[in-house]
Structure 1
Amino acid sequence: MPDSETTVQSSPADTYDVGVDNEREGDGEGVALHKHTIAVSHNGIAARQKEREEALLPRVISRERLQTTGEEIANTISHGLMAAGALVFAPNLLSHAAEHGDTVTVVGTAVFVASMFILYLGSTIYHAVPTRCTALKAWFRLVDHTVIYLLIAGTYTPFILEVLDDPWRWPFLVAEWGLAVGGILFKLCGDSHAHPQASTGFYLVMGWIGILAAKPLLAVMPIPGIIWLVAGGLSYSLGVIFYATDHVVPFGHLLWHFFVMGGT
C-alpha cells in the first residue's frame, strides 16, 4: 500500500512562483506573474528609450562636450535680453519706417524685426531647456540653428527692398530667401549633423552675397549705411570662430552670442 503521505514533485511553475512572490500555486501567482511581466516590459522600454536618448545627446546637442550649467545660464540671459529688446524697440523701428518711408520700407523693417525676435526667442528657449530633457533640447537646437537663416535673410530684406533698384532688387531678394529655404530644408531633411561645415558655409554665403551687388549699393547707399552693413557682416563672420570652437573654449558660445548681437 502506498504511504499515507504523497510525494509532491515541484513543477517549473511552482519554482518560478517561489521566485516571483514566494507563494505556492493558487496563492496569488497569477497576479504576481502579471505584475512581474509588466515591470519587465516597462523597464525594457525605459532602458531602450534611455539608450536612444544617450545616443542622441552627443550627436545632436554637442560636438564634444555639453555646455555647463553656468554657460547655459549666460547663453540664455544674453539672447533673452535681445528677444526682450526686439519687442521693446519694434514699435519705434516700425513707426520710424512709416514716418520716413513708404509701404516697402515698413514691410522690410517688419520682416527684419520679426526674424530678429524669432531667432533670439528660439535661442533663449533652447539654452533654457535643461540638458536632461534630451529630446526637447535637441528639437529646440534644431529650431535655434534653423532660424539663423531667417535672421540673415531678414536682415538683408530692408536693404534689398529699399536700396537696390531693378534689375538687382528681385533677383537678389529671391536668391537670399532661396538660400534661406535651402538651408532650412538641409537642416530639417538632410544630414546636417554629419556635415556641420555645410551649415556654416550656408550662413557665410548668405551673409556675404551682398558683395555681388557692391557696385549698385555703393552708387545709391550712403557711406554710413555701407559701413554698418560691412560691420554687421564682419561681426557675424568673426563670431563663427567662437561658434566653431565653443566645444573647447569655455564660454565660447557666449562670445558667439555677443558677435551675433553685434551683427544684429
Structure 2
Amino acid sequence: MVSMKFPTEKMSSESSFLFFRFMNNRAPSNKRYQPTEYEHAANCATHALWIIPSIVGGILLYLLSDDHWEEISAWLYGAGLSSLFIISTVFHTISWKKSHLRSVENCFHMCDRMVIYFFIAASYTPWLTLRDLGPWAANMRWVVWVMASGGTAYVFFFHERFKAVELICYVAMGVFPALVILSMADRSGLCELLVGGGCYVLGIVFFKSDGIVPFAHAIWHLFVAMGAGIHYYAIWKYLYTPVNQPTSTAR
C-alpha cells in the first residue's frame, strides 16, 4: 500500500527541520550545552558589538567626574561593564574556533561566569557611593564586593556542578542590594533601574532555554545589553550630569 504525505505534513516536517537546524538537543544537567555554528556566531556578535561602546561609556563618565569618588565609581563601573562584554566575547570565540583547547576554553568559561558577579557589584557602585544612604544601607557599599568575591570563589570550586544554585546566587546578588532604595531620600532613576532589572530577569528565561529555543543564549545576550544600556543611561543622567549630581555622604 502506498503511503501518502499530505502537504500540511510535508510543510510541518520542513519547518521542524529549519527550526532545529539552528540549535542542538538540550544538554544533560551535568554537561554544558554545545551551540551550533549559527548559535556560536550569534553568541560572539551579540556581545562583541558592545565592547567599544562600553569602553567609551566608561571613559565618558570618568571625564564627567567632578571629584575623587565620582572618578572611582566611573572607573569601577566602566571596568565592570566593558569586562563583561570582552570576556564573554573572548570565551564564545574560543569555544567556537578553538574547541581543541579545552583547558583554555574552560578557564575562560569560568572567567565568563565570574565576571558577572563583579559586573553586578560594579553596576551598584555608583548608586551606593554617590547617593545619600541611611546608616545600615551605607554598609552595602562593601557588602556587594564581598558578595562578588564569594561568587567568584563559588565558581572556582564548583563550576558547572550545581547550575540551579549558581543561578540563585546571581539573582540574589542582583536583587538583595536594591533594598538600599528604601533608605534613599532621592529616588530619581528608580524607574530606569526597575526597567533595566526587568530586562535581566526576563533574559534569564532564555539563559536557561538552550536546546529549547534557537539562539536562546544570544537572545539572553541582547537582554543583558538592553539592561546594561538602560542602567548606564540612568547613571549618566542622574549621577553624572551637572543638574542631577548628588551630594554623597561617602565624599
Mapped contact 1:239–1:260 kept (Cα < 8 A): yes
Distance 1:246 1:211 in 2: 29
Give the C-alpha shift of residue 110 in structure 1.
1.2
State whether residues 243 and 252 of structure 1, in contact with CA within 8 Å, keep that contact through their aligned partners in structure 2. yes
Q: Which amino acid aligns with 1:178?
A: V
Structure with bigger gyration radius = 1
Query: 1:133: Cα distance to partner?
Result: 2.8
How many aligned residue pairs are there? Answer: 199
Q: Between the two proteins, what is the percent identity of the paired residues? A: 27
CA-based RMSD of the aligned residues comes to 2.0
1:231 pairs with 2:199: no
Residues 110, 159 of structure 2: 8 Å contact kept:
no
TM-score when normalising by structure 1:
0.70
8 Å Cα contact 2:114-2:151 kept in structure 1: yes
What is the letter of the counterpart of residue 182 of structure 1? G
Q: How does 1:27-106 map to 2 (within 5 A)?
A: 63=32, 65-96=33-64, 98=65, 101-106=66-71
- Which secondary structure does the structure 2 equivalent of 1:220 belong to? coil
Unaligned segments of structure 2, at least 5 residues: 1-26, 229-251
C-alpha distance in structure 2 between counterparts of 1:62 and 1:255, whole Å:
21
The structural deviation recorded for 1:164 is 3.5
Which residue, out of 137, 140, 143, partners 2:111? Answer: 143
Deviation of 1:87 after TM superposition, in Å, equals 2.0
Over 6 Å off, 4+ runs = 58-61
Partner secondary structure for residue 245 of structure 1: coil
Q: Which consecutive unaligned segments of at least 5 residues does structure 1 have?
A: 1-57
Q: Which has the higher contact order (CA 8 A, sep 6+)?
A: 2
User: How far, CA to CA, are the matches of 1:175 and 1:92 in structure 2?
Assistant: 27
- Offset at residue 136 of structure 1 (A): 1.8
Is structure 2 residue 163 aligned with structure 1 residue 199? no
Shift of 1:192: 3.6
TM-score between both structures, scaled by the size of structure 2: 0.73
Q: Structure 1 or 2: larger helix share? A: 1
- The alpha-carbon deviation at position 227 of structure 1 amounts to 0.9
Q: How far, CA to CA, are the matches of 2:160 and 2:217 in structure 1? A: 18
Match of 2:53, as an amino acid?
G
Does 1:124 pair with 2:92? no
* 1:81 to partner: Cα distance: 1.4
1:107 to 72, 76, 79: 72
Letter in 1 for 2:187: M
Query: What SS is found at the alignment partner of 2:135?
Result: coil
Whole-angstrom CA distance in 2 between matches of 1:174 and 1:247:
38
Paired AA for residue 85 in structure 1: P
